[in-house]
Amino acid sequence: MRLLVHLVAKDLLRKMRSPLGLIAVLCFPLLFAGMIALAFGHGDSIPKVRMLVANEDDGLLANGVASVFTSQQASKFFDGKTVTTAEGRALMEQGKASALLTIPKGFTKDVLDGKPVTLRLLRNPSEGILPEIAEQTTGALTDILDGGRRVFDKPLADLRPLLDDDGKAPADADIVAISLAVKRAIEGMSNLVFPPAIALESEMFDNVKAAPQPDEHEKGDAPSSIFLLVLPGLAVYGLFLVADQGMRDVMTERTLGTLRRQLAGPIAPESIILGKAVYTAVLAGMAIVVIGGVGAAVLSSPVSIPAFLLLSCALVLAVTGTTAAIYGVARTERQASTLGNMIFLAMGFLGGGFIRVEGLPPAVRGIAPFTPLYWGTQGYRALLENGAGVRGVATHVGVLALMGIVFLGIGVAGLRRTARRGASA
Amino acid sequence: MFQVQGLVKSYGPLRAVDGVSFTVAKGELYGLLGPNGAGKTTIMSMLSGLLAPDEGRILFDGIDLAGEPLKVKAQLGVVPQEPALYENLSARENLSFWGGLYGLSGAPLKAAVDRVLELVGLTDRAKDPVKQYSGGMKRRINLALGLVHGPRAVLMDEPTVGIDPQARLNILEAVKQVAASGTTVIYTTHYLEEVEQLCDRIAIMDHGKILAEGTLDELKRRVGGRDIVTVRGSFDSAAVMPRFEALPGVQVTSVEPGRLVLSVEGSGRGAVDLLSRVLADGLSIDGISIQPPSLNTLFLNLTGRELRD
C-alpha cells in the first residue's frame, strides 16, 4: 500500500509540474458545452420545438400521430398545436412555428388498407436545430408506424371492420382472433420489407416573412439548462481523454527509461501497472470533481449525491479499464494514441457523447449500449433530467463496473507485456 | 558476492552473450571492457534482473537471481547507460522517489539524499528541475539515483558516455569513493583509461565472450612485454606475411589487405629492428604505428583490431 501511494504521489507530482495537457482536456467539455449553450442564444432555458399539426384526417391513427406532439408527455420538448392546414401555413409564413406536420385526409383508412401514405413536414428555415428535431422525431415516428403496420397487417385488417361498426363492442371471438393474429405477427416480424409503405416528405418552407424570437411565455420552462443538457455526454467523453493521459504514462516512462529503472528495483511489474491504474483513476476522479462542481454551480434542481458518487466511481473504473485495455493492446505510445483517439471519438458519437442517443439512427442506437460512454452519459442524464436516485442508476453502475473490471483485466495482461518489453529494451 | 555461470543470451541468430562466467568479490571494483556490441549491456541487464538469460545463472551472495529476483534487486543499485530521470522533478524529488522505492522514508531518506547529492556535487542545485541540468549534471544525478538507497553492489553501465572531461572526472571520482566505501561495483566501459584508473580486476570482452580476465598487471603481463606494430601500405598482405613470420620474435596477429598487425618481442628494441628490416626490404609502406604493452595492445593482440574500431 505504501509503495502504491509512493508511485501515485510521484505521478501526481509530475502532473502538477506539467499540468497544461490535463487542464486543456478538463476545459474541453466545459468550453464545448458552454459554446453550445451560447449558440442557442436565448439564455439558458431549452427552447421547445413549436410544432403545428394539421390533422386533415381525424381518424384513429391520425389522432395518435398528432398526439405525439400535442400530448402532456411531449410538452417537455414540443409546444404542439393542432391547426387547420391554412392556419398552419399562415403561422409558418409569419415564422411563428418550427415545423408544420400535415396528416392527409384518409390517412387512417389508407394505413389500415395497406396503401402507401405520406406525411408532409414543412420546416422553418429561419430556425436552426429545432426544425431538425421535429424532422428527426417525425422520421422516427414514421419508421415505427411503418414497421407496426407491416408487422400487424393481419390484425389491423381484422380490426378495421370493428372500427367502422358504429362503436358496438366487438365479440369475444373477434378479440381472440385478433390476439392470435397479433401473436403471429410478432413472430413474423422478420418479414419486414422495403420500401416503406408510410413515408415522410420533409421540405424547408420558403415563404417565411419573418422569424421573430419566441415570446417569453413561449420559451421552454424546463428547469435544466442547455449547458446541463449537453454537459454529461461531453464530460464523460472528456473523462476518457483525462484517463488516456494517465495510462499513457506507462509508455512515457518506457521511453524515459524510468520504467526499466523501476523494474530493476524491488518492485513487481504488477505493482507499477496498478500504480498507473490508481493514478489514472485519481485523475479521472479529479476531473469529475471539477466538471461536477461546474455543473452543480449552474444546476437549478438537486441531484442525488449518493447516486452521483456511485455512478462516478463506476465510471472512473470503466474509463480506467478502457484506457488500460487500449494501452495494453498497443505496442507503442504512438499506436496507443492513434487507437485511443479513434475509439474515444467513435464512442463519443455512438455512445451519445456528442449527439443524444435518441437522435441517432436506429441501427447506431443499437450499438450505443456496448460502449461505457453510453452508460456514463445516460446515467448522468438520468440524474440531471429525471432526478434519478441510486435505484435509478443501479443498472448504469452495474454495467460500468462490469465493463471496467473486464477491460482492466485485459489491460493489466497487456501492460505486463509492455512492462516486460520495457525491461528488456 | 557475484557468481556468474555460463551466461548465454541470443537474439535470433545473434549470440549476444556466449557462455560468460566470472566472479566478483565483495568490495571489488570489476570492469567489463569491450567495444560497442561486445555484450556488456546485455550482461548488465541480466545481472540487474531485467533480462532472463537463455542459459546459465547468476548468484548474489549465494541467492539465485532467477529464483528470488526481488530479494536480490533490493540489494543492488543500477546506473543505466542513458540517464533515466523525471525531468520536470528536481534532483531532490527524483532521489526521494527512488530512495522511497527501496523502502527508505523520513529522516533516513533525507540523510541518504543529502549524502548522494554531496557525493556527486549537486547539493546547491538540488531544488532545480532536472530539465535545467547540463548533460554532465544529468549523468551525475543518474549515478546518484543508483546509490541513494545504499546498495551493497552497484551495476554501472558506461556511466561516462558522451560527457565532457570535467563531468567525467567528477563521475570517476564518485565511483572511486563508492568503491572505497566497500560497495561492490561492476563497471562497463569501452574507455581503457577508465578501467586502468578504476578497476581492481578487468574482463576484456568481444563478440559476447570474455577474452581475458585479471588485474591490470596480470593482463599486461599477458601481452608479455611485446609491442604491437601495425604496418599499412600498398602491398599484398598475404604475400608478405611469411617474410614477417620468418623474423625472430615476430608473430602475425592480423592480416588484412594493405594492413598487417604484428606482435613483436623486445619492448621497443624489437619494433625498431623490425622497422629497419621492413624498410630494407623495399616494401611500399604508408605508415607504421608502434604501441607499447597496454590493455589496448592486449585487445589488439587478442582480436586483431583496436578497441575503438
**Which of A6, A258, A267 lies nearest to residue B84, judging by beta carbons?**
A258
Q: Choosing among B48, B81, B92, B101, which should be mutated to test the A contact, i.e. which has the most A CBs within 10 A?
A: B101
Strand-pair partners of A82 = A53
**Paired sense of beta strands B29-33 and B184-189, if any:** parallel
Listing DSSP states for A245-288 in one string gives HHHHHHHHHHHHTHHHHHHTSS--HHHHHHHHHHHHHHHHHHHH
* pLDDT value at A217 more than 60: no
Grid coordinates given for B70:
526481488
Q: What gap in Å lies between CA B210 and CA A403, rounded to an integer?
A: 53
What CATH number does the domain containing A108 carry? 3.40.1710
Query: Residue A195: pLDDT above 60?
Result: no
For residue A164, what pLDDT is reported? 63
* A170 within a domain of the structure (yes/no): yes
Residues A212 and A228 in one domain: no
Q: What is the pLDDT of residues A14-62, one digit of tens each?
A: 988 888 888 887 777 777 766 666 665 444 455 678 889 998 887 878 8
Which range of A143-157, A358-372, B10-24, B252-266 scores highest in mean pLDDT? It is B10-24
What count of other Cβ atoms lies within 10 Å of the Cβ of residue A82? 17
Q: Which of A218, A253, A281 is the last residue of a domain?
A: A218
Do the interacting molecules here have an ipTM over 0.95?
no
- Residue of A107, A104, A87 whose CA lies nearest to A96: A87
Nearest CA in chain B to A10: B97
Tell whether A71 and A201 lie within a shared domain.
yes
Domains and CATH numbers, chain B: 2-220 (3.40.50.300), 225-292 (3.30.70.920)
Whether A376 maps to a domain, the answer reads yes
- pLDDT by position in tens, chain B (length 309): 899 999 999 988 889 999 999 999 999 999 999 888 889 999 999 999 888 899 999 999 999 998 999 999 999 999 998 899 999 999 999 999 999 999 999 999 999 999 999 998 899 999 999 999 988 899 999 999 999 999 999 999 998 888 888 888 888 999 999 999 999 999 999 888 888 889 999 999 988 999 889 988 888 777 666 778 888 888 888 888 888 888 888 888 888 888 888 888 766 666 777 777 777 777 788 888 887 777 777 887 777 777 655
With respect to residue A102, please indicate whether it lies within any of the assigned structural domains. yes
Amino acid at B237: S
pLDDT at position A220, please? 41
pLDDT band at residue A214 using 50, 70 and 90 as cut-offs: very low
Q: Which residues of A touch B (CB under 8 A)?
A: 2-3, 6, 10, 13-14, 17-18, 256-258, 260-268, 423-424
Can you give the length of chain A in residues? 425
> Residue A44: its pLDDT value, please?
47
Dihedral sign from CA coordinates of A335, A336, A341, A346? positive
Q: Are residues A381 and A313 in the same domain?
A: yes
Task: Report DSSP letters for A126-157, one per residue.
Answer: TSSSHHHHHHHHHHHHHHHHHHHHHHTHHHHH
Give chain A positions within 8 Å (CB) of B97: 6, 10
- Does A64 reside within a domain? yes
**Residue A88: inside a domain, yes or no?**
yes
> If you search the block for the grid coordinates 524529488, which residue do you land on?
B93
Phi, psi dihedrals of residue B187, rounded to the nearest 5°:
-125, 120
Number of domains in chain A: 2
Cis peptide before A212 (omega within 30 of 0): no
Phi and psi at residue A390, in whole multiples of 5°? Answer: -60, -45
Neighboring chain B residues of A424 at a CB cutoff of 8 Å? 45, 50-51
| B32 strand-pairing partners | B188, B203
Report yes or no on A44 lying in a domain: no
Side-chain-side CA neighbours of residue A347 (13 Å): 27
Do residue A279 and residue A404 come from a single domain? yes
How far is the C-alpha of B100 from the C-alpha of B120, rounded, in Å? 19
A284 domain-assigned = yes
Statement to judge: residues A267 and A376 lie in one domain: yes
CB contact under 8 A, B80 and A6: no
**Is this structure's pTM higher than 0.80?**
no
Residue A257's nearest CA partner among B43, B80, B151 is B80
CB-based contacts of B152: which residues, under 8 Å, 6+ apart?
B1, B75, B76, B183, B184
Residues of A in contact with B51 (CB under 8 A): 423-424
Based on the domain organization, do A209 and A230 belong to the same domain? no
The answer to whether the CB atoms of B71 and A266 lie below 8 A apart is yes
Q: Distance between CA atoms of B251 and B266, rounded to whole angstroms?
A: 12
Contacts of B105 in chain A (CB under 8 A): 2
Q: Provide, as residue numbers in chain B, all residues whose Cβ is less than 8 Å from the Cβ of A6.
A: 97, 100-101
Q: In angstroms, what separates the C-alpha of B176 from chain A's closest C-alpha? A: 23
Do A146 and A208 belong to one domain? yes
Reply yes or no on whether the pLDDT at A197 is more than 70.
no
Indicate whether A344 and A365 sit together in one domain: yes
- Both A197 and A256 in one domain: the answer is no
User: Which triple of cell numbers denotes residue B47?
Assistant: 545481472
A43 domain-assigned: no
**What is the predicted pLDDT for the residue at A183?**
63
Q: How far apart are CA B309 and CA A105, in angstroms?
A: 96
> Do A304 and A332 belong together in one domain?
yes
The alpha helices in A94-129, defined as continuous H runs, are: 107-113
| Nearest by CB: B82 against A6, A257, A265 | A257
Domain boundary among A160, A189, A218: A218
CB atoms within 10 A of CB A18: 10
Which residue among A200, A218, A236 closes a domain? A218
3-state secondary structure of B238: helix
B195, B237 contact by CB (below 8 A): no
Per-residue burial over A192-223, b if 16 or more Cβ lie within 10 Å, else e, is eeeebbbebebeebeebeeeeebeeeebbebe
In the predicted model, what is the mean pLDDT of residues A378-388?
83
Tens-place pLDDT, residues A287-301 = 888 888 877 777 666
| Domain span at A358 | 2-38+224-424
Judgement on whether residues A127 and A237 belong to the same structural domain of the protein: no
**Tens-place pLDDT, residues A297-321:** 776 667 888 998 999 999 999 999 9
For residues A75 and A401, which has the higher predicted lDDT (pLDDT)?
A401
Contact B50 A263 (CB under 8 A): yes
A111 shares its domain with A27 = no
